[in-house]
Structure 1
């Protein structure tokens, strides 16, 4: 064989051996199809129109804060990423509009509902959610009837009127020294309910209720009932209703020369009341209670929430935005514990929940009421709410 031919064969063999010795480069693993996010719909209902729209918007903003935080947290259920959607409805504090809003949310197949704000809308709406098997957490409805209808899907994160009204009645007699008390209510489920409990508290503490009057939740003229009450010379006038009515009532009390202390429940206990009352409110004339409260180290978390809320929305918290915020987190935590957004599956987890929120520890009793609910007593000084004490 020719020498050049031998060399060529040798070279070819060497190249072949080298090629055989090379490792094949690993091909990139095939990417599986993207996992479709699970959309979880949470409804919120409050009065975002009408005289107490400032309270409804306050509540709705609390829900928005919670939903945004939860979406940023990358929560998964059943192995899928979750996208939470807030479906917000306006009930204008009207029972009929409230039930219409409830049915709209049921038809939209929401996974849960936070709301409503008022007892008068919360109670009739609860019947619709119960029939549909949808969990409902109210952040602010205080009428006891709400959780005493035999429903297993209703919860509240605040104390009820039995506690709130009774405590205020006792405070009027024992701390403010009231011997004679007049009571006015706005004939709503909330207003009449809290006024009834206040009256019981006054009588139990040894005070006398010298007059009981009523108005409505859209009234602006109270001269007739206030003139009648003035003749009875009460030490305290209690109003069961909301701040939009309480403000003008305080103005007319001043015009009539009525110097009695003025008391009310959580419906009047807002940061907006001094603006609504104008010069009708003197320092330490008004006393009220919020159906919730924090103490000690928990105050730092509440203060941070209030600061974050103002930075985000440009307004101060009115009353119940932090309770709405906590209610959303409680509902989602129950979903996580059950690894499901199916109402039937996470409802048992909601009943057993234990959540430390910005408003304190949230656990529910067998009726759906918050355990060991707090109250915060306030007065007003210099146009600002001033805390007196947290009581349980």
Structure 2
């Protein structure tokens, strides 16, 4: 009996050793994530983070391997507070922490200064930034999750003139890299389509009182007021337009296309138009499956940015496996040559700058307090 007990104990110990060995053989690969996780843009950062988190969980479930060894991707998250200075500090912290790639930042204003830090370290960055300057710095490490302002602004500018029949157009932007960049591209396209820019004003991304700006715009009787910026400003802007009796249609970009915009703007939200990269969720190639997995995992509806963040994370992880290496210098070429099916589009692929090759845009309108897709247009 004693020998039997000892034998069983030895087998148990041997089994435990094998188990520990198997666990030890799973190599962890750190991916960085940076976005605003506090402040008035925290909802965007959380939305983006959810998409990245789901991508890591889905990909890890396939038990990926590099050099025959099973790997596990882990996320190292940082709050950049939507602040350019904080963004650069966070970027250096992630680099020093040994990340092999970064998914972020969210804002163009943080992504652009942070991209210099990642470039010097040779670490690939897939960002939600839309400002054209992000991928025009000559870095080989910059890639996008969404279409650029050049693509989006050019489509929307032509749309308001050709489809809405707007002849007199006013523009307001928040002076951020995103807001000003989108407004600049919109202005070029609206002028090219034959529209007249009757006035251009600017504010900042903390403002909530636009009465002075709107009073100046009202005198010009614009058919459309385009706002380049986020919901925290576009919602009170919409409210105050109606309070001043303005009949102009408010048009904005994807940072205004949120449920929170409708909540903040109230009845004044109705009639607002916004552009958003890609197709509506139910028309995305992988939209149905993504929606099911997302709602099960996070117990809530899919928001604006998470599908794009998911595709970006998947592209980075697949590039490492394809290159059979997590060394940024070795998998960067695979990432640049990516051609893989996505949730948001048939094929995730980048041009020489790191911009997405496929860049469709959908126009949405608030109808009776709900966002409704109006038309999907080809990007340029």
- With the length of structure 2 as denominator, give the TM-score of the two structures: 0.91
Q: Could you tell me which residue of structure 2 aligns to residue 216 of structure 1?
A: 204
Matched, 1:344 2:344: no
**CA apart distance, 1:350:** 0.6
Which of 260, 266, 273 is the equivalent residue of 1:287?
Answer: 273
Asked if structure 1 preserves the Cα contact closer than 8 Å seen for 2:54 and 2:310, the reply is: yes
Which of 278, 282, 289 is the equivalent residue of 1:304?
Answer: 289
Q: Could you tell me which residue of structure 2 aligns to residue 368 of structure 1?
A: 354
**CA apart distance, 1:270:** 2.1
Counterparts of 1:266-281 in structure 2, within 5 Å, are 266-281=254-269
Matched, 1:226 2:226: no
Q: Could you tell me which residue of structure 2 aligns to residue 177 of structure 1?
A: 165
**CA apart distance, 1:295:** 9.2
Asked if structure 2 preserves the Cα contact closer than 8 Å seen for 1:337 and 1:349, the reply is: yes
Matched, 1:160 2:133: no
Encode CA deviations 1:112-161: one digit per residue, 9 max, x unaligned: 001111111111110000000000011x2111111110000111132111
Encode CA deviations 1:366-391: one digit per residue, 9 max, x unaligned: 11111131111111112222112222
Which of 17, 26, 33 is the equivalent residue of 1:37?
Answer: 26
Bigger radius of gyration, 1 or 2? 1
Which of 216, 230, 239 is the equivalent residue of 1:251?
Answer: 239
Per mean C-alpha deviation after superposition, the further-off stretch among 94-103 and 184-193 is 94-103
Could you list the runs of 5+ residues in structure 1 that have no partner in the other structure?
1-27
Q: Distance in 1 between matches of 2:242 and 2:233?
A: 15
Asked if structure 2 preserves the Cα contact closer than 8 Å seen for 1:157 and 1:323, the reply is: yes
Q: Could you say what secondary structure the match of 1:88 adopts?
A: strand
Counterparts of 1:75-114 in structure 2, within 5 Å, are 75-114=64-103
Q: Could you tell me which residue of structure 1 aligns to residue 226 of structure 2?
A: 238
Encode CA deviations 1:221-243: one digit per residue, 9 max, x unaligned: 11100111111110100000011
Asked if structure 1 preserves the Cα contact closer than 8 Å seen for 2:362 and 2:375, the reply is: yes
Asked if structure 1 preserves the Cα contact closer than 8 Å seen for 2:143 and 2:350, the reply is: yes
**Runs of 4+ with deviation above 3 angstroms:** 28-35
Q: How many residues align?
A: 361
Asked if structure 2 preserves the Cα contact closer than 8 Å seen for 1:270 and 1:319, the reply is: yes
Q: Distance in 1 between matches of 2:125 and 2:173?
A: 27
**CA apart distance, 1:300:** 5.7
Asked if structure 1 preserves the Cα contact closer than 8 Å seen for 2:131 and 2:148, the reply is: yes
Asked if structure 1 preserves the Cα contact closer than 8 Å seen for 2:280 and 2:373, the reply is: no
Q: Could you tell me which residue of structure 2 aligns to residue 10 of structure 1?
A: none
C-alpha distance 338-57 of structure 1, shift in aligned 2 (>3 A): same
**CA apart distance, 1:356:** 0.4
**CA apart distance, 1:71:** 1.9
CA RMSD of aligned residues (A): 1.9
Q: Distance in 1 between matches of 2:291 and 2:89?
A: 32
**CA apart distance, 1:38:** 1.1
Counterparts of 1:55-204 in structure 2, within 5 Å, are 55-138=44-127, 140-204=128-192
Q: Distance in 2 between matches of 1:307 and 1:223?
A: 43
- With the length of structure 1 as denominator, give the TM-score of the two structures: 0.88
